[in-house]
């Protein structure tokens, strides 16, 4: 489905995840963050960029792997995205929601 | 009127067993709740306490007796070494799917904000002290205290 995000028409799934990463830019990420009650800071962007890189390299994302990444620990990850770190951060990053239960 | 729409806000999980499959079920459910932004707490009671006992938590086993899903005759499951064999097989499979061991899983849950409670009555019964338990334990509490934790709209309780 199409959704207007930051003034642009973007293809998203029913849960609001981008279907095409090429449509993503920082203003889109910012708008999705706001919608999910996240105020983006440089630290948030650092994590979001890291996740985009991992996704590009086809690394499956899980809380455990991110905790071991040396980029961010699990506690801080939850502090940045309290309403579900992996779920919300990937949505902001414009990448698919990880199917992992861990 | 309340705006509550039936959404799950908090999961209270009671773990009364320490067989590997039950412990992992409780941990995955608690951790999975946090991943969705849902609060989660585990109340360890009776044998469930072994999952947070510092000296025992690394030595939990899969139940091979009385477990029809193991597809193993009960008589065989009772042979010496059977539980250890089934356990090491299961642990290998868990590694493949990136499942953490019990101690690491406890660390992940604490970092994720899961509260871990030990049942006071069961602690007394097994003569365990708080110092014997995993360091991330929130506290030793009574059933009444635990119920108070559930006084939030949208709380669900699960017994394992």
Hey, what's the torsion of the CAs at B89, B22, B110, A39, to 10 degrees?
100
Nearest-Cα distance to chain A for B19, in Å, is 20
pLDDT tens digits, A34-43: 999 999 999 9
Catalytic residues of A, which ones? Answer: 101
**Is the CB of residue A101 less than 8 Å away from at least one CB of chain B?**
yes
The reported pLDDT for the residue numbered B2 is 61
| B74-88 per-position pLDDT tens digit | 777 777 787 888 888
pLDDT of residue B93: 84
Q: Using CB atoms, which residue from A67, A78, A86 is nearest to B113? A: A78
Residue A45: count of CB within 10 angstroms of its CB: 16
Phi, psi of A33 (to 5 degrees): -60, -45
Task: Assess A37–B contact: CB distance below 8 Å, yes or no.
Answer: no
Q: Please check whether residue A84 touches B, CB under 8 A.
A: yes
**B111 to A83: CB separation less than 8 angstroms, yes or no:** no
Residue B75's pLDDT is 72
**Stretches in chain B below the pLDDT threshold 70:** 1-2
């Amino acid at each position: 489905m199409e959704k207007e995000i930051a003034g642009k028409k973007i293809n998203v799934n029913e849960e609001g995840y981008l279907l095409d990463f090429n449509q993503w830019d920082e203003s889109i990420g910012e708008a999705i963050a706001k919608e999910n009650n996240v105020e983006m800071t440089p630290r948030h962007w650092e994590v979001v960029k890291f996740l985009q890189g991992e996704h590009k390299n086809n690394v499956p994302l899980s809380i455990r792997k991110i905790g071991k990444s040396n980029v961010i620990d699990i506690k801080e990850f939850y502090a940045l995205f309290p309403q579900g770190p992996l779920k919300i951060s990937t949505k902001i990053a414009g990448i698919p929601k990880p199917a992992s239960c861990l | 009127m309340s705006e509550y729409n039936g959404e799950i806000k908090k999961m209270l999980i009671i773990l009364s067993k320490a067989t590997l499959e039950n412990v992992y079920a409780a941990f995955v459910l608690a951790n999975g709740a946090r991943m969705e932004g849902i609060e989660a707490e585990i109340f360890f009671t009776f044998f469930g306490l072994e999952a947070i006992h510092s000296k025992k938590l690394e030595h939990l086993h899969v139940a091979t007796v009385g477990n029809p899903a193991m597809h193993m005759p009960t008589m065989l499951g009772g042979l010496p070494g059977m539980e250890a064999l089934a356990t090491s097989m299961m642990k290998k499979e868990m590694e493949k799917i990136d499942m953490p061991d019990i101690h690491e899983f406890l660390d992940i849950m604490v970092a994720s904000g899961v509260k871990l409670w030990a049942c006071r009555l069961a602690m007394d019964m097994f003569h365990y002290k708080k110092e014997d338990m995993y360091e991330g334990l929130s506290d030793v509490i009574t059933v009444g205290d635990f119920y108070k934790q559930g006084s939030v709209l949208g709380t669900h309780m699960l017994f394992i």
